[in-house]
């Protein structure tokens, strides 16, 4: 049972982890640090659970049937706590490392942390589930992609902050945490309203699908901001310059330029004798 739960918990996580690893196509991260990020994310579930339980007992309680309590739980207890825990690890362990060389790295490490968190969360729930297969399928289509989305929003802004002017870094870091909490809280808000009609809960799946599209766009945008894009173009141009065809092209351009300069000079000096 435990082995099955581990396998089912890891399957969607590994798929998304491989996806973000392959999307980091210019300067891929050391695998050992990706494993460290994944393990750190898995372990971070315990302080997150402790804080969430501590605050929940003293505020909204475990059962609520109104939007005020739901908002507090979704955004401030669950969303804020979990995203702050993951942000703290990202900021302390990875943000200042020398291998953090491009904006895409913010997404990569944030996603690996978040997938570790999602794997640990899935394992806890699957072990206690009466229907492991159904629970695993549901989580692979909802909770795991959701944690992936939260991480992309945070990681995009963290990566952007790492390679910008110092005056903008605080704002961008705050924006990353804010967006992760906002998306996380909105998803949970629709999902946890158990007293509402089923159609209301389905809004969380629609919101997740839209957020996934935006996440892919952010990943592609982070790729374009990589300094290695310009470096690759420069190397490509350098290789082209070594080809005989390119040398002939330059020689032709040189002769054309000399001809234009001669015509311009002759036009400005009509009485000049060659």
- pLDDT score recorded for residue 96: 87
What is the Cα–Cα distance from 72 to 189, expressed in whole angstroms? 9
CB 94 within 8 A of CB 33: yes
Band of residue 3 on the pLDDT scale cut at 50, 70, 90: confident
Task: Please write the tens of the pLDDT for every residue from 220-261.
Answer: 999 888 877 665 554 455 455 556 665 666 667 777 777 777
- pLDDT score recorded for residue 135: 82
Report if residue 69 sits inside a domain. Answer: yes
- pLDDT score recorded for residue 112: 97
Same domain, 136 and 242: no
- pLDDT score recorded for residue 52: 92
Choose between 64 and 42: higher pLDDT: 42
Same domain, 199 and 262: no
Report if residue 274 sits inside a domain. Answer: no
Same domain, 83 and 127: yes
Band of residue 167 on the pLDDT scale cut at 50, 70, 90: confident
- pLDDT score recorded for residue 238: 47
The conformation of residue 26, written as its DSSP 8-state character, comes to S
Report if residue 19 sits inside a domain. Answer: yes
- Please give the residue range of the domain that contains residue 50: 2-228
- Please, where are the H alpha helices in the chain? 2-23, 31-43, 45-58, 67-71, 80-89, 104-127, 132-141, 143-162, 166-192, 198-224, 227-241, 244-268
Which class for 252: exposed (0-12), middle (13-18), buried (19 or more C-beta within 10 A)? Answer: exposed
Domain boundary among 211, 228, 245: 228
- pLDDT score recorded for residue 235: 46
Quote the tokens at residue 109: 């490490």
Same domain, 194 and 258: no
Does residue 150 surpass a pLDDT of 90? Answer: yes
Report if residue 116 sits inside a domain. Answer: yes
Same domain, 224 and 242: no
Choose between 255 and 169: higher pLDDT: 169
Same domain, 255 and 219: no
Choose between 139 and 80: higher pLDDT: 80
Across 88-96, average pLDDT: 93
Choose between 163 and 149: higher pLDDT: 149
Choose between 197 and 214: higher pLDDT: 214
Report if residue 198 sits inside a domain. Answer: yes
Same domain, 117 and 171: yes
Q: What total number of domains does the chain contain?
A: 2
What is the Cα–Cα distance from 221 to 177, expressed in whole angstroms? 19
Does residue 109 surpass a pLDDT of 50? Answer: yes
Report if residue 273 sits inside a domain. Answer: no
Same domain, 143 and 249: no
- pLDDT score recorded for residue 230: 62
Same domain, 69 and 201: yes
According to the per-residue pLDDT averaged within each range, which of 67-71, 194-198, 215-219 is highest? 215-219
Percent of the chain with pLDDT over 90: 49
- pLDDT score recorded for residue 117: 96
- pLDDT score recorded for residue 181: 97
Please state, rounded to an integer, the average pLDDT across all residues of the chain: 85
Same domain, 175 and 67: yes
Does the global pTM surpass 0.85?
A: no
Same domain, 224 and 241: no
Across 92-102, average pLDDT: 88
Task: Please write the tens of the pLDDT for every residue from 8-61.
Answer: 778 889 999 999 999 988 888 889 999 999 999 999 999 999 999 999 888 767
The conformation of residue 93, written as its DSSP 8-state character, comes to I
Same domain, 148 and 78: yes
What is the Cα–Cα distance from 97 to 101, expressed in whole angstroms? 9
């Amino acid at each position: 049972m435990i082995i099955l739960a581990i396998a089912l918990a890891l399957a969607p996580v590994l798929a998304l982890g491989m996806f973000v690893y392959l999307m980091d196509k210019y300067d891929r991260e050391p695998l050992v640090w990706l494993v460290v990020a994944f393990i750190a994310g898995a372990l971070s579930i315990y302080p997150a659970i402790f804080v969430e339980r501590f605050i929940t007992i003293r505020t909204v309680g475990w059962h609520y049937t109104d939007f005020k309590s739901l908002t507090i739980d979704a955004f401030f207890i669950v969303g804020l706590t979990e995203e702050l825990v993951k942000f703290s690890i990202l900021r302390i362990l990875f943000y200042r490392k020398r291998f953090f060389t491009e904006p895409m790295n913010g997404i990569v490490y944030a996603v690996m942390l978040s997938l570790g968190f999602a794997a640990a969360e899935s394992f806890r729930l699957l072990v206690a589930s009466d229907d492991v297969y159904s629970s695993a399928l549901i989580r692979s289509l909802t909770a795991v992609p959701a944690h992936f989305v939260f991480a992309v929003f945070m990681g995009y802004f963290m990566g952007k902050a790492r390679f910008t002017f110092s005056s903008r870094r605080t704002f961008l870091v705050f924006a990353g945490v804010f967006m992760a909490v906002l998306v996380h809280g909105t998803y949970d808000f629709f999902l946890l309203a158990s007293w509402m009609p089923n159609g209301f809960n389905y809004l969380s799946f629609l919101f997740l699908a839209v957020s996934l599209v935006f996440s892919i766009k952010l990943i592609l945008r982070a790729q374009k901001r990589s300094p290695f894009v310009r470096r690759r173009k420069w190397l490509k141009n350098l290789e082209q310059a070594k080809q005989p065809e390119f040398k002939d092209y330059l020689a032709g351009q040189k002769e054309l330029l000399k001809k234009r300069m001669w015509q311009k000079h002759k036009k400005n000096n009509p009485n000049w004798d060659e």
